Amino acid sequence: MKHFVPIRLRVERNVVTRVVRALKGKGSLAVRVGQQVAPDEILGSGAIASGFRILNLSTLLSVPPREVEKYLIRQLNQRIYRGELLAFKKGWLLFGKKVVTSPTDGVLDFLNTKTGELKISFLSKKADLPAGVYGIVEDVDTERGQVIIRTLVSKIYGMFGSGRSRDGILHILGKKDSLVSKEEIQTKYDGQILVGGSLFFKDTISACISQGVSGIIVGGSNAEDYKGMAGGRLVFPKKLDNDIGIGVVICEGFGSIPIGDDIFEVLSEYEGKFVFIDGNKALISLPSFSSASLMKIKNTKLPPLPGHELGEFGGYSMGTQELKIGLKVRIVGNSCLGEQGKVVSIDDSLTLLPSGVKDYLVMVETSRRKLQVPVANLEMIG
């Protein structure tokens, strides 16, 4: 008897696609349509504000808030540099003299005469936009500060996720089945995309956001934690726009589940390399780091719109295929959720399962054991 199982595409190698690169803050672009670019080539530069500092001058000068302004040496909206004189109050002989210098470079932005607090906005910083990929520029949008590049990537399709598209250097925190605690998240991971084994705890995700981590790639997630990231929902409308300040892609499902071998092996190849993550599409794009990819990019023309659309969860569904011995499968039900292996045998007769349902059992050989699994609990890895 023939048995058919669904096919899910989880890893797609060497696909010519488009990526969008966008300036951070207002700025200008310095590329043209048709231009060939390399990863370290600068497409343009923007200016981003990097925060502010509040000084309570009333306290520092020991004067009422309404009198602070008359002791300011600099005027509002004026630039000041760290260490320069900001405010000064004369004293009697050696007593009562107060000197306040600026703790940072910035602009005197606002003085609250009710509280005596002065806001110093940090000076904008120049932020260059590297291409990040080998490719051909297809479009330049100067108003939005965006560049569309045709490039070659390998794609990983997760089960679900959250967050807008981001990019960063990929860093693998540990083994594919490790649990990641908040103590492991450090300042040096600012702007990086972290691969974190089988589960990120809720407070770990919060620590990642606080440290400026761009994205998280993980095997599983607690359902309640995921609902918190996804606006309280487990099922989305087709248009996805959730964002909590970080991109998250969950590769396997709910619970503590190791990242599958097929995905983890590909991610390991990109340790320390620049990648893209789109949580709302549950998509990870890994750019080719070989200049030889330009040949394929040049010879491939893309349609005006993408050829496929992602489903609500789980990447591309590719229909079904007959289950045969030797095929690589993934277990999608029972306590072995997420394990992968090869089919070594298929029963010829039905077996009554504990649930009261009858189904054909399949012997699946994983890297560490053999498991008997109902046909209904399998999917083929495309």
Percent of the chain's residues with pLDDT above 90: 50
With 50 as the cut, is the pLDDT of residue 134 above it?
yes
Q: Which residue has the tokens 């705890």?
A: 201
With 50 as the cut, is the pLDDT of residue 314 above it?
no
Which domains are assigned to the chain? 52-122 (2.40.50), 159-281 (3.50.30), 323-381 (2.30.30.50)
More confident residue, 366 or 297: 297
Q: Taking residues 320-329, what's their average pLDDT?
A: 89
The mean-pLDDT minimum among 23-37, 182-196, 216-230, 307-321 falls in 307-321
More confident residue, 156 or 50: 156
What pLDDT does residue 125 have?
82
Percent of the chain's residues with pLDDT above 70: 90
With 60 as the cut, is the pLDDT of residue 317 above it?
no
β-pairing, 165-172 vs 146-157, is unpaired
CA angle, residues 142, 144, 149, in degrees to nearest 5: 75
Label residue 239 by pLDDT band (50, 70, 90). Answer: very low
pLDDT in tens, 71-115: 999 989 899 999 999 999 987 766 678 899 999 888 998 999 899
Label residue 238 by pLDDT band (50, 70, 90). Answer: very low
With 90 as the cut, is the pLDDT of residue 3 above it?
no
Label residue 240 by pLDDT band (50, 70, 90). Answer: low
pLDDT in tens, 52-67: 889 999 999 999 999 9
The mean-pLDDT minimum among 40-44, 90-94, 282-286 falls in 90-94
What pLDDT does residue 233 have?
52
Displacement of CA 274 from its chain's centroid (Å)? 12
What pLDDT does residue 309 have?
40
With 70 as the cut, is the pLDDT of residue 292 above it?
yes
With 70 as the cut, is the pLDDT of residue 275 above it?
yes
Label residue 312 by pLDDT band (50, 70, 90). Answer: very low
Label residue 203 by pLDDT band (50, 70, 90). Answer: confident
Mean pLDDT of the chain: 86
What pLDDT does residue 161 have?
87
What pLDDT does residue 313 have?
40
